[in-house]
Structure formats: structure tokens, C-alpha cells
Amino acid sequence: GAVVSQHPSRVICKSGTSVKIECRSLDFQATTMFWYRQFPKKSLMLMATSNEGSKATYEQGVEKDKFLINHASLTLSTLTVTSAHPEDSSFYICSARLDRGETQYFGPGTRLLVL
Amino acid sequence: GQQLNQSPQSMFIQEGEDVSMNCTSSSIFNTWLWYKQEPGEGPVLLIALYKAGELTSNGRLTAQFGITRKDSFLNISASIPSDVGIYFCAGLRGSQGNLIFGKGTKLSVKP
């Protein structure tokens, strides 16, 4: 149980285009999902907390208009990187928390490369 | 943002050796989690600790939640090559708060 999937696993796009990443909890409902960014050889950096049916809560320094988050259902959250630039290239990882639980389960990550 | 102090930063050990790593904080946590991350993958939960003093095992892995609630350690016994990866500790203050991550311990195991 507690499986989280992400799609796509890898994406290459041109500068200026937008990219959507999906995060799904496969066998449980997640009222809350989280989006992280990880740079090479670094720890995970929380970008935003995604709550089903309401607006996401962004961490300080994360542009909400650039990283659009939609949590439309209890099993799906999406992160859209708008007008992507090479500096947005990174490893993006989502996690989902079981309802009434504390433990976060992570997806396999999405490698984004912006050319 | 705030991070946990995780040590050591990296370890190079021989297959069969035992491994110990720990995380400390100046603040109290209610939950400690240990994750393992392999290259190009997301972190995988290894052990979750919910009570001060709790000692929990998962196969060759053993983790403890410090009595002061400000620290936790993870031990791996009889290491094998597939133990290679980066181990992260993560702390949680409230039941609905965000995880605070350590910087990770990179483990290399020589066959």
C-alpha cells in the first residue's frame, strides 16, 4: 500500500514552454500532497503544500505564478512549470500524506531538462 | 529553511560492516522518519518513529527516537552492496506540519 506515482518520469522541453507533472496516490486518498525540488547532491526542498479543493500554500521564495499547482481530487495533484527556463531544470518529487496520518510517501520523481 | 543536522555526510564501508548515522536538532520533534533514496528515484520510507524512546527495526535496519525528542539514529547491520544510496532523516513537529529534512548521508559499500 501507499504507492505514489509520477508522470512523466523524464521530460525535455524548450525554453518558454510549459510542462505539467502529475502526482497520483494509487491506493489511498490524500487530502494533502507536497511538491519538492531537489538539486544534485542536495536534500529535498519543499516548494508547496497542495490541499485538495483549495489553493496551494507556497514556501517563501517559490513563485506561485510560475509553479502552478492544482489538487483537483483526492488522488491527483499536478504541478505546471510555466514558461520554463534552463534554471528550472531539476528533479521534482511529490509526496502524499495519508488522511489523518503523518507519514509522507514519495513518488519516483520527474527529471525536467529545459533546453 | 531549517534543517536537521545529519551525520556523517558520507560513508565508505566494506560489505558486512555495520553502519550508524544520526540526526540532531535544537528543536523537539513528534515524529522521526528515515528514508533511502537511490539515484534518479524518489525517497523510500524505511522506518517511522512516533514516540520518544521508541526503538523500531525493519530487517537489518534499526532506528531509535531519542528520549529528548531532539535526535534519532539509524543503524544498518551487516551491510550489503544494495544498501548503497543516500539516507535522509526527516522530522515532523505537529501532525499536520511539514517535514524538515536532514542533508543526507551517502553510503557506499565495497563488495
pLDDT at A101: 67
A87 φ, ψ to 5°? -70, -10
- Average of per-residue pLDDT across A16-32: 93
Query: Using one digit for the tens of pLDDT, what is the confidence trace for B61-89?
Result: 999 999 999 999 999 999 999 999 999 99
pLDDT one digit per residue (tens) for chain B, 111 residues: 556 899 999 999 999 999 999 999 998 998 999 999 999 999 999 999 999 999 999 999 999 999 999 999 999 999 999 999 999 999 987 666 788 899 999 999 998
pLDDT at B33: 94
Asked whether the predicted pLDDT for residue A41 surpasses 90, the reply is: no
* Set of chain A residues whose Cβ sits within 8 Å of the Cβ of B88: 43-44
Asked whether the predicted pLDDT for residue A1 surpasses 90, the reply is: no
Q: What is the mean pLDDT of chain A?
A: 92
Do residues A32 and A97 make contact, with C-beta atoms less than 8 angstroms apart?
A: yes
- A43–B101: do the CB atoms touch at under 8 Å? yes
Asked whether the predicted pLDDT for residue A67 surpasses 90, the reply is: yes
* Set of chain B residues whose Cβ sits within 8 Å of the Cβ of A93: 42-43
Query: Using one digit for the tens of pLDDT, what is the confidence trace for A43-64?
Result: 999 999 998 888 899 999 999 9
Amino acid at B93: R
Amino acid at B18: D
Mutating which of B38, B96, B103 best tests the A interface, going by the most A Cβ atoms within 10 A?
A: B96
Among A4, A91, A104, select the one facing B99 at the smallest CB separation.
A104
- A104–B33: do the CB atoms touch at under 8 Å? yes
pLDDT at A108: 96
Q: Roughly how many angstroms between the first and final C-alpha of chain B, as a whole number?
A: 38
Residue-by-residue DSSP string for B39-70: TTS--EEEEEE-STT-EEEETTEEEEE-TTSS
Omega within 30 of 0 (cis) for the link into B43: no
